Amino acid sequence: MHPLDNSGCILYAATMTTVDTVRRRAMASGLAAICLWSSLAALSVLSGSIPPFQMVAMTFAVGASIGIIRARWRGVGWAGLVRWPARVWLVGVGGLFGYHALYFGALQLAPPAEANLVNYLWPLLIVLLSAPLATKNERGRLGWAHLAGVGLGFAGVALLAFGRGGVAFAGGHVLGYALALGCAFTWALYSVLSRRFGETPTDAIAAFCAVSALLSLLCHLAFERTVWPASTSAWLAVLALGLGPAGSAFYFWDHAVKRGDIRALGALSYATPILSTALLIVCGLADPTRALLLAALLVTTGAALASRELWKR
pLDDT tens digits, one per residue of 290-311: 877 888 888 878 877 776 665 5
Residue 170 parent element (H or E): none
Per-residue model confidence as pLDDT tens digits over 116-158: 888 888 888 888 887 766 555 555 466 777 788 888 888 888 8
Please state the domain extents for the chain.
Answer: 3-312
Quick one: average pLDDT of 103-115? 84
Amino acid at 256: A
pLDDT of residue 153: 83
Structure pTM? 0.85
pLDDT of residue 164: 63
Per-residue model confidence as pLDDT tens digits over 39-50: 988 899 899 989
List the Cα angle 148/154/157 in 5-degree steps.
145
Amino acid at 38: S
Percent of all residues in the chain with a pLDDT value above 90, rounded to a whole number: 40
d(CA 15, CA 47): 47
d(CA 107, CA 105): 5
Quick one: average pLDDT of 206-229? 95
Mark 155-170 as b/e (b = at least 16 C-beta within 10 Å): bbbebbbebeeeeeee
Quote the mean pLDDT of the chain. Answer: 84
* Higher-scoring residue by pLDDT: 2, 231: 231
Per-residue model confidence as pLDDT tens digits over 42-84: 899 899 989 999 999 999 999 999 999 988 888 877 777 778 8
